[in-house]
Amino acid sequence: MYSFRTTGFNGYAVQYSPFFDSRLACAASANFGLVGNGRLYVLGLTPDGIVAEKWFDTQDGLFDCAWSENHENQIVVATGDGSVKLFDISLSDYPIQSWREHSREVFSANWNLVDKSTFCTSSWDGLIKIWSPVRPTSLSTLQPPGGQLSCTYAASYSPYNATMLASCSSDSFLRLWDPRAGGMPTNSVYAHNGAEILSLDWNKYRPEVLATSSVDRTIKIWDLRFLGNNSSSSASPVNELLGHEYAIRKIAWSPHAPELIMSASYDMTARVWIDSTALKQPSTTFSSGRQPARRPNAGLRSLWDKHTEFVVGCDWSLWGAEGWVCTVGWDEMVWVWDVRSAVVQ
C-alpha cells in the first residue's frame, strides 16, 4: 500500500489515467468542499512512493474529475462554482477550456468510453450536459422531468453504448437517457425508496447491469432488462449489498471481474463486494416467489479501514495485477492498496 497526503485539501474524487499505469488524478477541495479553493492533483506512482507531479488550483472546490479517453494529457473537472474546466497537464496553472453553463455545483464528470470525443457532467441544478472538448458550448442538455429539479449527483455513459447514459438524483430516481430519443429519460426507476442516490456505475462486463448507491446505506444492483416501463415503482433490484453504516458516496465496478464492486462511504471505510448475481444465471423464480432476505455484509470481500474521515472517492487500476485500487477521503489521504490484502475472513 502507498499513500499521499493532500495537505490542506480534502479529497473528493480519484481516477487512474487510462494511458499511464503510474498516473492518477485527484480532485480535492479546501475546507471539506464547503467553502474555498479547489486543487487538481496529478500524482505519480514511483518506486519511492506517490509524488505530486503537478497540481492546478481553482477558485472553488473540485468535486469530480475525468481523464480524457483520447488525449493522454487532458483532464476535465467538476467545479463548485458551476464551471466545467479542462486542464492539460503538459501546461501550467490555467485550464485550456472553461465552460460556464451549469447554475449550481457540478458534481460529476464522466468521459464517454465508446465515442471518446464527448463527456458528460451533472449538477445540483438538476441538469446533465454533454460536451465536446473542442466546442465552446455544450452539445446538449438533459433535464429530468418535473418542476423542482433535484440535485443530479452523478451521470455516466454506458461502456457499451455511445449514446446511453444513466443518472441518479436526490429525488431517489435512477434515470436512463438516450439523447437521440429526445429530451426525456427512456426509463425512470424510483430506486431507493425516497433516499438520495449519490453514485452509480455501469458494470464493465454485463452491458445490462448497473449499480446505484445511496444515503440509505445500500448498494443496489439493477438489471436493465427487468426494470419495466417508465417509473414502475415496483421494479426490484437483482441484488442488494448491505453493510455500510452511513451513506455510500461512490461505487465503482472492477475493470477485471464482472462480480467485483468497490464502495466508498461516510462510515470511513471502503469495501469491495462480490455481486453473486454475476456468478450465476438470473434465477427463474416463481412470479410470487420470495426473495431471500439479504443479510448485512453478505458478499463483502475486502474492507479498507485506514481512512480516518469520510471516504469519498475510489477507482480501480486498469493496470498490472488485478486488485489495485485507489481511495481518497476527507482525511486528506490518498491510499493506493490491493484489495487482495484486505480480504475479510
Partner 1 sequence: MDRLSNLASQLAPNDASAVSKLLEKHPDDVVIVGAYRSALTKGGKGGFKDTTAADILTAVLKGLIERTGVDPKYLGDVCVGNVLAPGSGVTEHRAACLAAGIPYSVPYISINRQCSSGLMSVDHIFKGIKTGDIDAGIGGGVESMSINFGPGSVSEFSDFLANHEEGKKCLIPMGVTSENVAEAYGVTRKMQDEFAADSYRKAEAAQKAGKFKEEIIPIKTKFIDPKTEQVSEIVVSEDDGIRPGVTPESLSKIRPAFKKDGTTHAGNASQISDGAAAVLLARRSFAQKQGWPIVGKFVDCAVVGVPPEVMGVGPAVAIPAVLERNGLTKDDVDIYEINEAFASQCLYSVLDCKIDPAKVNPNGGAIAFGHPLGCTGSRQIATLIQEFKQYNKKIGLTSMCIGTGMGAAAIITAE
Binding site for partner 1 (CB under 8 A): 33-35, 80, 104-105, 124, 151, 192-196, 198, 214-218, 234, 236, 242, 246-247, 266, 286-290, 293-296
> By the 8 A CB rule, do 175 and 166 touch?
yes
Q: Which residues contact 10 (CB under 8 A, 6 or more apart)?
A: 28, 29, 30, 31, 32, 33, 309, 312, 329, 330, 331, 332
What is the DSSP code (8-state) at residue 343?
B
Nearer to partner 1, 130 or 215 (CB): 215
* Beta bridge partner(s), residue 172: none
Which residue type does 290 have?
R
Nearer to partner 1, 45 or 197 (CB): 197
CB of 133 to partner 1, least distance (A): 28
Nearer to partner 1, 81 or 322 (CB): 81
Nearer to partner 1, 122 or 214 (CB): 214
Alpha-carbon 297 to chain mean position: 22
Q: Cα separation of 148 and 110, whole Å?
A: 25
CB of 193 to partner 1, least distance (A): 5
Compute the chain's Rg from CA coordinates.
19
Nearer to partner 1, 216 or 275 (CB): 216
How does DSSP assign 253-314, residue by residue? E-SS-TTEEEEEETTS-EEEEE-GGGTSPPP---TTPPPPPPPTTTTEEEEE---SS-EEEE
Q: Cα separation of 315 and 251, whole Å?
A: 8
CB of 113 to partner 1, least distance (A): 28
CB of 34 to partner 1, least distance (A): 5
Nearer to partner 1, 198 or 209 (CB): 198
CB of 192 to partner 1, least distance (A): 7
CB of 185 to partner 1, least distance (A): 22
CB of 191 to partner 1, least distance (A): 11
Q: Which of 279, 270, 278, 275 is nearest to 341 (CA)?
A: 270
CB of 240 to partner 1, least distance (A): 8
What is the DSSP code (8-state) at residue 30?
G
Nine cell digits for residue 284: 427463474
Instruction: Write down the residue that cell numbers 501546461 correspond to.
Output: 91
Nearer to partner 1, 311 or 336 (CB): 311
Nearer to partner 1, 86 or 227 (CB): 227
Would the CA dihedral through 306, 254, 256, 112 be positive or negative?
A: negative
Nearer to partner 1, 50 or 200 (CB): 200
Say whether 83 sits in a helix, a strand or coil: strand
CB of 66 to partner 1, least distance (A): 21
Report the chain's terminal Cα–Cα distance, integer Å. Answer: 20
Burial (Cβ within 10 Å: 0-12, 13-18, ≥19) of residue 111: buried
